[in-house]
Amino acid sequence: MWPPIEISDIYLGSLVLGLFYGLSLCAPSCLPHITSYIAGVGAGLRRALAITATYNVGRITAYTLVGSLAYMFKLLIDDVNIRPYQSYASIAFGLVTIIIGASLLKRGDKSCQCSLHDASSFHKNNVFGKVDAGSFAMGLTRGLIICPPLMTLLIYGVTAPNPLNPLLMAFLFGLGTTLSPIFLLGGIAGWLLNKATLWKKWIRLAGAGILLILGISAMLSSLVIL
């Protein structure tokens, strides 16, 4: 057996913690949302990867934001304040998911009237052409919900004299989580679903419908806690 690895550098530790979290706990909680969104927009392999990347950028932004806010409002990181914060963040995430689901549901009928050629050119123009606002918003609001390892990092980080400390730690943690199996699963799902061109309308409707359900369930569960 190898001896346990000790990581003395806190920044490297944050990155590694994010990496492990991204490879394990983080992936299944994000997978239903990401794959539903990929199905909902009718993305192929490249666009699915771009969506997953944008989602992750949204999460990193949120983590960094949470890190800087944690330093400014140190009161946030205690048991009394964190519960309502988590519930409100969860409600925001649910709300964004519902809005995205509803807009995809509305757009689904219109965009599926186009021919196959139009659909493929639509995707080509959108692969790297502009930022996918939906997946970014979803990642951003998802990242606002503070997960247990990030919470531990922030509790440690806010005690440091340097205000950049929690911010950098949260950023590196987020960066670590980007290496996640959802890249692989989202990419494969997009690649496979994109082959079923005649089912595109139904796939989009199903993806949008699932997003709506996920959003409503996230909101309801948070409201119950509140």
114 binds another protein (CB under 8 A): no
Both tokens assigned to 31: 């997978």
Assess contact for 112 and 40: CB atoms under 8 A. no
Of 144 and 210, CB closest to another protein: 210
Of 35 and 54, CB closest to another protein: 35
57 binds another protein (CB under 8 A): no
164 binds another protein (CB under 8 A): no
Query: Which one among 43, 51, 153, 185 touches another protein, defined by CB under 8 A?
Result: 185
R_g of the chain, CA atoms, integer Å: 19
Matching residue, tokens 């205690």? 78
Only segment of 31-39, 122-130, 161-169, 212-220 that touches another protein (CB under 8 A): 31-39
Only segment of 63-71, 82-90, 110-118, 184-192 that touches another protein (CB under 8 A): 184-192
Q: At what angle do helices 148-157 and 45-72 cross, to 10 degrees?
A: 40
Q: CA distances (Å), 150 to each of 50, 88, 165, in order?
A: 25, 17, 13
Q: Which residues, 6 or more positions from 152, have their beta carbon under 8 angstroms from its beta carbon?
A: none
Query: Which one among 81, 121, 162, 197 touches another protein, defined by CB under 8 A?
Result: 197
Q: What are the φ/ψ torsions at residue 72 (nearest 5 degrees)?
A: -70, -45
Q: How far apart are CA 193 and CA 197, in angstroms?
A: 8
Give me the least distance between CB of 36 and another protein, in Å please: 9
Give me the least distance between CB of 212 and another protein, in Å please: 17
Where on the chain is the footprint of another protein (CB under 8 A)?
A: 24-25, 27-29, 31-32, 35, 185, 188-189, 192-193, 195-199, 203
